[in-house]
Structure 1
Amino acid sequence: MDIRVFKTFIAVAENRHFGRAAETLYITQAAVSARIKQLEEFYNTALFIREKNNLRLTPAGEALLSHAHLMVSQMAQSKLSLSIAAMQKNTFSVAATPNVWDAFFSSRIQDMLALFDDLVVGAELSVREAIQRKLEDRSLDVGLLTDPIKDSDFCNELIGHFDLSLVGSRAEFDAKVEDYVLVDWGITFQKEHALHHKVTPNFKTSAAMIALEVLQTKGGFAYLPYPLVQALIENGELFEIETPLQIKRPIYLVYRKNNPQEQLITEFKALFSKLQ
């Protein structure tokens, strides 16, 4: 049913006169009569009692009036909402695990903002499981992980690496140390770590910055991104420890296949190739 029919019904009900309603709506009186007739045929009932010099609503008309006001109001609100939405920028959302954020992504935030300066960009820290869940329900466009998501519905693209170093507040390290900080660098790292190290951690974290703060305040050892600790090693605040563990970690850009943001994802991937 055309919303103009309900607007006409409201105008007639308020003016109690077809002619005055027509003037209010800037249409002919014949058009007003036709619309009211259309409404009465639709509901199969009379909406007005037509008496000489007296036009009033029937009980059915009284019942319809509040609904008519509601429908007109909701239509106006929907037009306003769509108008506001049309003026808003498109969005692009990225999530990274804390380790990827500290080691790789935090230094590239400004480049991403410059690339997508015409978009509303969302960036968040989250655990791997939550990132996968959000990618699955499409509330997230891209995830940055150290291990791929092995699922045929996902695309995993290697976009870079970062180097880890075993560092400590002193130069001697062995399995007997009691102040080792275990940083979560992903599933592959955990397997390799268990193979090469029998040390028992006294502190665990998924964030490199937290581990570094522990080392600087209480002392200890941890695997940390080399760029993060390079200056501290060079000035003697931390010591680099020789280790058999693989220290180059991959970064995977992960997203759902058939993502409607495919063009933006392509631009996002190209950004990292420029920054290598």
Structure 2
Amino acid sequence: MDTELLKTFLEVSRTRHFGRAAEALYLTQSAVSFRIRQLETQLGVSLFTRHRNNIRLTPAGESLLPYAENLMSTWQLAKKEVTRSLQHSLLSIGATASLWEAWLGQWLQLLYQQRPTLQLEARIALRHGLINQLHERQLDLLISTEAPKMEELTCQLLGNFSLSLFAASAEPETGERPYIRLEWGADFHTHESRLLVNNPLPVMSTTSALLARSLLPTTGACVFLPSHWAELYPDLTAIADIPPLVRPLYAVWLQNSDQRAQIRQLLKTPMI
């Protein structure tokens, strides 16, 4: 379907006059008539009744009108989006909530300070969901504590970070201190259970480091948080007899991604 034919049809139906439609479209009247005949030939129906200057839509023309309007509207939106994609390279980055809260938020601040016109999409989700988005090309870059072992993916080690066990007070008021489980990756739970005495059942599980920290005073619990948060939040107290856990941080993307060059450029700015 030639959209110019639909555009001409809509203009004639609006003006009810081939001459005025020709002026609006910057065409000759014969060109307008030819386009309408082309459209009628494609559809196998007459779209207008012509009696001197009295031009009206036929029942078939009336039926086509709303579809033509919708098709032209969709086509205009499509052209706008394509043009926008050529002008700006939108890159989507995905990570878990805790990684965004602990490191990636500050990383984005640095990126936008260096590149004020940068356009990014930040996605927060669980790791397995983000990997699926990566394979479906809905996501360009995954930041994760684990490197997926898949040939089609490129993984780059960005560095290591430290997690310390924090509480809101040095000693629990009564009995054993409760525990909040924060999502730091599937293999993290193996190290977690090795360090914690009696492997206590968590009073809460969450993917948000900020939420876990806010609940420490109320619950009297402890939780593994980024070690550098001791400087950001003076109310945090490190549990001295539990050593910090060191975790890797990876950038993951498709080997044949169209955004490879931009991803490598962004990764030159350190995250941790």
Q: Please state which band the TM-score falls in when normalised by the shorter chain.
A: 0.7 to 0.9
Q: Which moved more, 1:113-122 or 1:253-262?
A: 113-122
The answer (yes or no) to whether the contact 2:90–2:119 under 8 Å persists in 1 is yes
Moved over 4 A (4+): 1-6, 18-51, 53-57
Check if 1:64 corresponds to 2:63: no
Give the conservation status (yes or no) of the 8 Å contact 1:143–1:253.
Answer: yes
Output the CA distance in 1 between the equivalents of 2:26 and 2:209. Answer: 69
Amino acid at match of 1:104: W
* Residues 1:194 and 1:9: Cα distance change in structure 2 (over 3 Å): closer
1:63–1:161 Cα change, 3 Å: same
Q: Which residue is 2:227 aligned to?
A: 226
Change (3 A) 1:253 1:63: same
State the partner residue of 1:150.
149
Query: Secondary structure at 1:152's aligned position in 2?
Result: coil
Contact 2:10 2:69 in 1 (8 A): no
For 2:264, give the aligned amino acid. Answer: T
| Contact kept? 1:100, 1:251, Cα under 8 Å | no
Q: Which amino acid aligns with 1:270?
A: K
Contact 1:147 1:186 in 2 (8 A): yes
CA distance in 1, matches of 2:145, 2:89: 28
1:50: Cα distance to partner? 7.5
2:203: which partner in 1?
203
C-alpha distance in 1, partners of 2:143/2:133?
13
Residues 1:183 and 2:182 are matched in the alignment: yes
**Which amino acid is the alignment partner of residue 76 of structure 2?**
L
Alignment of 1:118-133 (within 5 A): 118-133=117-132
Tell me what 1:80 maps to.
Answer: 76
Opposite residue 92 of structure 1, the aligned amino acid is L
Structure 1 residue 42, shift from structure 2 partner: 4.6
SS of structure 1 residue aligned to 2:150: coil
Change over 3 Å in CA distance of 1:25–1:202 after alignment to 2? closer
CA displacement at 1:158 relative to structure 2: 1.0
1:10–1:69 Cα contact (<8 Å) kept: no
Which secondary structure state, in structure 2, belongs to the residue aligned with residue 271 of structure 1? coil
CA 1:202 to 1:48, structure 2 compared with 1: closer, same or farther past 3 Å? closer
Q: Give the drift of 1:159.
A: 0.8
1:163 paired residue number: 162
Tell me if structure 2 keeps the 8 A contact 1:11–1:24.
no
Q: Is the 8 A contact 1:167 1:241 kept in 2?
A: no
2:250 alignment partner, one of 249, 252, 257: 252
Do 2:182 and 2:212's aligned partners in 1 also have CA atoms closer than 8 Å?
A: yes
Per the normalisation by structure 2, the TM-score is 0.74
Per-residue deviation, 1:192: 2.0
Once residues 53 and 107 of structure 2 are traced to their aligned partners in structure 1, the CA distance between those partners, rounded to angstroms, is: 74
Return closer, same or farther for 1:136/1:213 CA change in 2, 3 Å cut-off: same
Structure 1 portions without partners, runs of 5+: none
Shift of 1:128: 1.5
How far the C-alpha of 1:41 sits from its partner, in A, is: 4.9
Which structure carries more helix by proportion? 1
Residue 243 and residue 40 in structure 1: after superposition, are their counterparts in 2 closer, same or farther (change >3 A)?
Answer: closer
Change (3 A) 1:146 1:36: closer
For residues 107 and 201 of structure 1, do their structure 2 counterparts lie closer, same or farther at Cα, with a shift above 3 Å needed? farther
User: Relative to structure 1, is the Cα distance of residues 182 and 112 closer, same or farther in structure 2, using a 3 angstrom cutoff?
Assistant: same
Identity of aligned residues (%): 25
Superposition RMSD on alpha carbons, in Å?
A: 3.8
Q: Is the 8 A contact 2:154 2:254 kept in 1?
A: yes
**Contact kept? 1:181, 1:202, Cα under 8 Å:** yes
Is contact 1:161–1:251 with CA below 8 Å preserved after alignment?
Answer: yes
TM-score normalised according to structure 1 size: 0.73
**Separation in structure 1 between the aligned mates of residue 139 and residue 224 of structure 2, nearest angstrom:** 29
From the CA coordinates, give the structure whose radius of gyration is larger: 1
What is the total number of aligned residue pairs between the two structures? 262
62-71 or 139-148, which deviates more: 62-71
**Matches of 2:43 and 2:232 in 1, distance apart?**
80
The whole-number CA distance in structure 1 between the counterparts of 2:43 and 2:236 is 84
Question: Structure 1 residue 83: deviation in Å?
Answer: 5.0
Cα separation, 2, equivalents of 1:223 and 1:9: 64
Between the aligned partners of 2:32 and 2:95, the Cα distance in structure 1 is 61
